[in-house]
Amino acid sequence: MATPDLFAQPIPVPAALEAVSASERIAGLRAELDLHAHRYYVLDEPSIPDSEYDRLFRELQALEAAHPDLQSPDSPTQRVGGKALGQFATVRHRIAMLSIRTETDTEASGARNFDNRVRKELGLTESDPPVEYVAELKFDGLAMSLRYEHGVLVQAATRGDGEMGEDVTQNIRTIRQIPLRLPSGAPPVMEVRGEVYMRRGEFEALNERQREKIAKGAKGEKTFANPRNAAAGGVRQLDPAIAAERRLSFFAYGVGEVTPPEQDGPAFETHYALLQTLKSWGFPVAAQTRLAQGATELIAFHDTVRKERDRLPYDIDGVVYKVNSLALQRRMGFVSREPRWAVAHKYPAQEQLTTVLAIDIQVGRTGKLTPVAKLAPVFVGGVTVTNATLHNEDEARRKDVRLGDTVIVRRAGDVIPEVVSVLLDKRVPDATQFTMPRQCPVCGSEAVREEGEADYRCTGGLFCAAQRKEAILHFAHKRAVEVEGLGDKLVEQLVDAGVIRTLPDLYKLGFASLASLERMAEKSANNLVAALEKSKHTTLPRFVFGLGIRHVGEATAKALARHFCQLDRIMDATEAQLLEVDDVGPIVAKSIHTFFDQPHNREVVEQLRACGVTWEESEPVALAVKPLSGKTFVITGTLPDLSRDEAKDMIELAGGKVAGSVSKKTDYVVAGLEAGSKLIKAEALGVAVIDQEDLMALLHGLPD
């Protein structure tokens, strides 16, 4: 049924109707339109053509326009009629909208586990009859509360955090499956709860409309990842006219607050009876809803729905089991704000068939190369999937994924798409085996796979655009060169804006370029410029660590600096020479040698030097003649002119070792102001205690 043009001019009232009172005709039209809408949107059994529905609708519009005193919020014409809101009001749920516990066992035993818990809670033995449950679908949408007062829909609210939600009444009125008025006999207050969702067909149509808008250059438009996101976005539109375009749907599955009717009304004794009453009032209730006796029938329901899942016109991610008796529900109660009498039983990850169009290489922030299969679009687990990870070369070869193959795709954990297997009987002739490229597709640097590792990695860490943000953040780390104030968000902003492409660009930043950035205050810009200038004066270990060479941490960087004393010697060292350094094994030696073997990385180092980044260097000195070699220090308290890191660097460059705790093996404790328990322990053990001046004397006494 086409949605009537609600903003068109109403047609004149036919003269033949003048003999009928306006109130009678309006009431008749509303009842007739509600009946036809229910047959169309809920029962899927339209009884009149769209054109006839539109004619009746326009007639009602005209009568209400002529008699504004007869207008009512439950009229079909009020489905879309509210003004756009500035924001949503907050609603406190009188009865909290609680979540249902998820059964993590996706096999049949998950249903049996729930039944066992229920029987134990109720104190039932094996000789007692089976518990009666209601088995329902678990819809993948947005939970909604509909509040009716004296039969009229007065408020619709999202779940929110369970206690507080948002008032989305105007948007919910646009969903034609939701009655605006309940029949006589309904309780004075009736809160119906259910799920707002989007049918797959409507989702695809919406995305097609979005693609057309994007193609025409519309700004701010996008396609949606899955029906649930599109439905949630539709509910939260401030303009109900836009919400109406989403063509959302609704299923009822329960109630919240209910006040007893003043006279005879529905007396709910079971959950199933409640659902049947809601259905008789015009609410959609999933046709698959069933009564189930014990675990055996729950298992059968879970299996039946699993087989039908792909054929449903909407998304589900499992089924729900509820104890049918409301008296037993009240007896069982809740635990951790979850009902003991209900559980959500999910399914394993969904799988679909599709075709491999290409195999691309994705380069991560740390240089890891990951093969990714580009797929013919396929709808899996609630989203349209076009990419699936192959993890690494070994995995791609184990599964033998090739270009043109028909593959089974699964959303592992309903999150990450992956290729499960290949249908070899559908393989195209001459399909070639996948081979990981030996060069980074982003920067052209060599891609290497270290011994014992599954992944290939780009070696152009200082040059590769894919690793740019990670390289800058690591270089600016406080244990590396340290650029105070240069954090994740600022690096992301600078890189995304194209201000920084490589590390040396950091030192070309001026106040003007920083101050022009969004949310960058004048003081912050000045502070960062000063921090960059300060960072130019560093140490060789910090600089080497800051380069981000794989496997080279702080300790290895210090060992390299102690051994070679000069950066050029480190860069020019052979693998054999690197192996002479303490704590450097074959894997680390190869990683260092490969890194400096890349011209791009050497060029970045030279540019950093040209920008004024400096450190002290010396001629290599045999470790045996360094006076602090073999000496262990502990630093405690606050030194007058040195930070602990600075003092530690000095001691280690002089051949000493800095420990974190005092023992009999400690040679010196360097004590500053407010030295605590370490000083007390040193005195008790008879360990020599020195201050900053004594330490400097030891350091200055070193031979050239």
Domain boundary among 346, 378, 399: 346
The pLDDT of 242-269, averaged and rounded, is: 80
Residues 562 and 632 in one domain: no
My answer on whether 335 and 366 are in the same domain is no
Range in 28-42, 148-162, 201-215, 437-451 with the lowest mean pLDDT: 28-42
Of 46, 73, 75, nearest in space to 59 by CA: 75
- The residue with greater pLDDT, 415 or 617, is 617
Would you place residue 8 in the very low, low, confident or very high pLDDT band (cuts 50, 70, 90)?
very low
pLDDT at position 264, please? 47
> How do strand 632-636 and strand 668-671 relate by DSSP bridges?
parallel
- At 7 the pLDDT is 36
In angstroms, the first-to-last Cα distance of the chain is 92
Q: Check if the beta carbon of residue 249 is closer than 8 Å to that of residue 196.
A: yes
387 in the same domain as 239: no
pLDDT at 17 over 50: no
Q: Which range has highest mean pLDDT (237-241, 248-252, 622-626)?
A: 248-252
CATH number of the domain that residue 161 is part of: 3.30.470.30
Task: Clarify whether residues 279 and 139 are in a common domain.
Answer: yes
Cα–Cα separations (whole angstroms), residue 24 to 19, 27, 48, 70, 74: 11, 5, 22, 10, 16
Q: Is residue 539 part of a domain?
A: yes
**Inter-residue contact 590 to 577 (CB < 8 Å):** no
Higher-confidence residue of 106 and 561: namely 561
Residue 245 has pLDDT above 50, yes or no: yes
- Those residues with Cβ within 8 angstroms of residue 267's Cβ, 6 or more apart along the chain or in another chain: none
Check whether 294 has a pLDDT greater than 90.
yes
Task: Kindly state whether residue 159 falls inside one of the protein's structural domains.
Answer: yes
- The better pLDDT of the pair 423, 296 is held by 296
Over the range 466-500, which residues count as b (16 or more CB within 10 Å of their CB) and which as e?
bbbbbbbbbbbbeebbbbeebeeebbeebbeeebb
Residue 95: inside a domain, yes or no? no
Task: Find the CATH number of the domain harbouring 636.
Answer: 3.40.50.10190
- pLDDT for res 145: 95
pLDDT for 461 equals: 82
Domain containing residue 374: CATH number: 2.40.50.140
Q: pLDDT-derived band of residue 82, with 50, 70 and 90 as boundaries? A: low
Could you read off the pLDDT of 406-441 as tens digits, one per residue?
A: 988 877 545 578 888 888 878 888 888 888 999 999
Which two tokens mark 632? 């262990």
36-64 mean pLDDT:
69
CA distance 475 to 557: 13
Please provide the average confidence, as pLDDT, over all residues in the chain: 85
Alpha-carbon 543 to chain mean position: 35
Question: Are 255 and 296 in a shared domain?
Answer: yes
- Cβ-count burial of 558 within 10 angstroms (0-12 exposed, 13-18 middle, 19+ buried)? buried
In a domain, 444, yes or no: no
Please indicate, yes or no, whether residues 669 and 602 belong to a single structural domain of this protein.
Answer: no
User: From residue 57, how far is each of 60, 77, 259, 358, 534 by CA, in Å?
Assistant: 5, 7, 34, 52, 74
Same domain, 615 and 631: no
How many angstroms separate the CA atoms of 594 and 321, rounded? 59
Which of 599, 620, 641 finishes a domain? 620
Residues 265 and 390 in one domain: no
Pairing state between β 132-139 and 142-149: unpaired
Residue 163 lies inside a defined structural domain of this protein = yes
Catalogue the active-site residues. Answer: 138
Calculate the CA 617 to chain-centre distance: 47
Domain boundary among 315, 346, 377: 346
Which region among 85-99, 257-271, 480-494 has the lowest average model confidence (pLDDT)?
A: 257-271
Give the side-chain half-sphere CA count within 13 A for 260: 4
What CATH number did the domain enclosing 518 receive?
1.10.150.20
Is residue 83 situated within a structural domain?
no
Q: What is the 3-state secondary structure (H, E, C) of 393-439?
A: HHHHHHHCCCCCCEEEEEEECCCEEEEEEECHHHCCCCCCCCCCCCE
- The residue to which tokens 């299923």 are assigned: 251
Residue 134 has pLDDT above 80, yes or no: yes
Q: Are residues 341 and 356 in the same domain?
A: no
Confidence of residue 70 (pLDDT cuts 50, 70, 90): confident
Largest CA distance in the chain: 118
The count of other CB atoms within 10 Å of the CB of residue 299 is: 19
The residue segments making up the domain with residue 416 are: 351-426
Q: Are residues 390 and 310 in the same domain?
A: no
Q: pLDDT grade, residue 291 (50/70/90)?
A: very high
Do the beta carbons of residue 574 and residue 593 sit within 8 Å?
Answer: yes
DSSP state of 503: G
Enclosing H/E stretch for 496 = helix 488-496
Neighbouring C-alpha atoms within 13 Å toward the C-beta of 607: 17
What CATH number did the domain enclosing 46 receive? 1.10.287.610
Give yes or no for a contact between 573 and 564, defined as CB atoms under 8 angstroms apart.
Answer: yes
Cα separation, 651 vs 134, whole angstroms: 73
Which residue(s) pair with 165 in the sheet?
91
The proportion of the chain whose per-residue pLDDT surpasses 90, expressed as a percent, equals 39
Asked if 534 and 630 sit in the same domain, the reply is no
Mean of pLDDT values over 177-206: 91
Residue 330, C-beta contacts closer than 8 angstroms, at least 6 positions apart: none
- The string of pLDDT tens digits covering residues 635-685 is 999 998 888 888 888 888 777 888 888 998 899 999 998 888 899 899 999
Same domain assignment for residues 219 and 338: yes
| CA 65/CA 649 separation, integer angstroms | 84
Give the DSSP per-residue string, 40-99. Answer: IIISS---S-HHHHHHHHHHHHHHHHH-GGG--TTSGGGSS-PPPPSSPPEEE-SS----
* pLDDT greater than 60 at residue 569: yes
Query: Is 446 part of a structural domain of the chain?
Result: no
d(CA 490, CA 49): 59
Residues 287 and 278: their CA atoms lie apart, in Å, by 13
- Is residue 610 situated within a structural domain? yes
CB 359 within 8 A of CB 419: no
Pair type for strands 142-149 and 152-158: antiparallel
Number of domains the chain is built from: 5
